[in-house]
Amino acid sequence: MSQQIEARNEGRTRDAATEEPAENLVRGRLIVALDALLKTGSATLAARRLGLQTPAISRMLAQLRELLNDPIFIRSGRGLVPTALAEEIRPIVASVVEGIEATFERGFAGDVREAPFDSSWDVRTALPVAALAVRPANLLEGEPSPRDIERKLSRIDRMASPHTRLAKALATISTATGHRRPLTPDEAKEAMGIILAGEADPVQIGAFMSILQFRNVTAGELAGFVEAARAHVKEAFQPRRLKADLDWPCYVSPNQQNPPWFLHAARLVAGAGYRVLLHGSSGAGEKSGRLEFVANALTIPVCRTAADTARALAEDNIAYVPLAAYAPQIYRLLALHSLTGHRSPIRNAAYLINLANADASLFGVAQSAYKDLHRDTAKMLDFKDITILGNIRDFAQFTPFRATVMYRLVGGETLDTRIAPIAPPPTQPRPRTTSIEYWNGIWTGAVVEERVEKIILATAAAAFMTLARDSSASFDEAYQRAEGLWRKRHAKR
């Protein structure tokens, strides 16, 4: 019996000795994969860097998350943002990978045959060189350690000044490697709330927006920004009595040259008995009144107060509210684009304000990664029914002549609906009219162009699918409904 026990123990020892190197081999691969992910911020780029397929990197990331009991990365607008743990172990991971590379570089270095360097060349330059030019700040008595920074930040509470609290948020997202992390939704709400309340220093605003644009905002941060934006809107616009069926954000670039056909689609949906609230802007410069002008041309009420908006929704089933009317501080923040040259994170939040407490929302997002970001954020905010059109614009206008994905939440559940393209009709000669006459003539029937009509009908169909709030809703049936309403649109005016 004792011999059998000894044999079993010996077998276990051999198994353990075999398992440990095998486990380390797996861990080594995971470390190399993690290093590539940290350096690229993308599973696709990491796979390309390592000569692997993207699914392989995704599987290794799943293993890392399980082994380290941490998400490792959080999805953001254009990539993966490391968690606090990932930032903490980044130097260790980089060191391990550098050690592996250095080991093999030594092996190759031994094969190189070079002539010995002539030490007689080692002489000091004869050129006079001035000393390093510096300007001491005399502000610090030595560099604070990361622990010192953590202790300092932990002492900042809600009783601190707005500048100090926003500085804490800045330090959280920009502190040196190992201590940087995304803001929680509550922290993001507080930081953006300070900015929207007009209590932030302009330097802080520039730094905050630039860091987030460079690093990319997370869904949790965006959810906090939306909550802050809603609080700002309640104070500036007081929309508590507003109620719409469909929320339709429309943020049009002043550089956009194509007519806003989506307004015709919105008018069509309103004619079907749904209350449609359009809101947004076309920049803050010389073209900032573009949407107000064309809405008036289509007899869509342009409202500047909550009372006017409620009246328009009750009487006309449709209204357009300029961003400057309901969120002046957000309007001014977006206008900083001309100074910074990049998109503001608060613009992403503006799509999800839901100004009139609508049961469904329809909007477009240009950048592909932002579609998942907005949908993830909408789920965090308990949205039930939204549609994000996968197109090349930041407003909801459907282009039926190419394959389109509708990124949806239906009853709070994620659903992607792929719509096959249709053959584009032949392009017709443009009538000799001004752009606004041509645009408005499509609605009145003075101008007939099949290609444009299909864009309008497809956009209206997307709205009807969103309003159906049903995962089995058919795009073809919604399109047929839009066609019927289009033929009868003049009776609805």
Query: What does the pLDDT average to over 462-471?
Result: 95
Which of 44-48, 173-177, 178-182, 433-437 is modeled with the greatest confidence? 44-48
Cα-based distances in Å from 188 to 166, 172, 272, 349? 10, 11, 39, 12
pTM of the model: 0.72
pLDDT tens-digit series, residues 91-122: 788 878 877 876 765 544 444 444 444 454 54
* Segments in 241-305 forming alpha helices (H): 262-271, 290-297
- What gap in Å lies between CA 445 and CA 459, rounded to an integer? 18
CB atoms near residue 472 (< 10 Å): 6
- What gap in Å lies between CA 195 and CA 199, rounded to an integer? 6
What would the two tokens of residue 76 be? 């953001």
Q: Counting Cβ atoms within 10 Å, is residue 309 exposed (0-12), middle (13-18) or buried (19+)?
A: buried
Contact of 254 with 282, CB cutoff 8 Å? yes
Looking at residue 129, what is its pLDDT? Answer: 52
Is 157's pLDDT higher than 90? no
What would the two tokens of residue 373 be? 């970001």
- What gap in Å lies between CA 313 and CA 161, rounded to an integer? 41
Is 454's pLDDT higher than 90? yes
Contact of 305 with 325, CB cutoff 8 Å? yes
pLDDT tens-digit series, residues 211-220: 888 778 889 9
Looking at residue 91, what is its pLDDT? Answer: 77
Task: Please report, to the nearest 10 degrees, the dihedral formed by the alpha carbons of residues 468, 471, 472, 478 taken in order.
Answer: 40
Cα-based distances in Å from 22 to 26, 29, 100, 265, 313? 6, 11, 17, 61, 67
Looking at residue 311, what is its pLDDT? Answer: 96
Q: Give the amino acid at 106.
A: R
Query: What does the pLDDT average to over 323-347?
Result: 83
Q: pLDDT above 70 covers what percent of the chain?
A: 81
Spell out where 16-170 has E strands: 73-75, 80-82
* DSSP conformation letters of 396-410: ----TTS-EEEEEEE
Looking at residue 74, what is its pLDDT? Answer: 84
Spell out where 145-261 has E strands: 246-251
Q: Give the amino acid at 308.
A: D
pLDDT tens-digit series, residues 256-312: 777 889 999 999 999 999 999 999 988 877 788 888 888 988 999 999 999 999 999
- What gap in Å lies between CA 186 and CA 170, rounded to an integer? 14
- What gap in Å lies between CA 479 and CA 490, rounded to an integer? 19
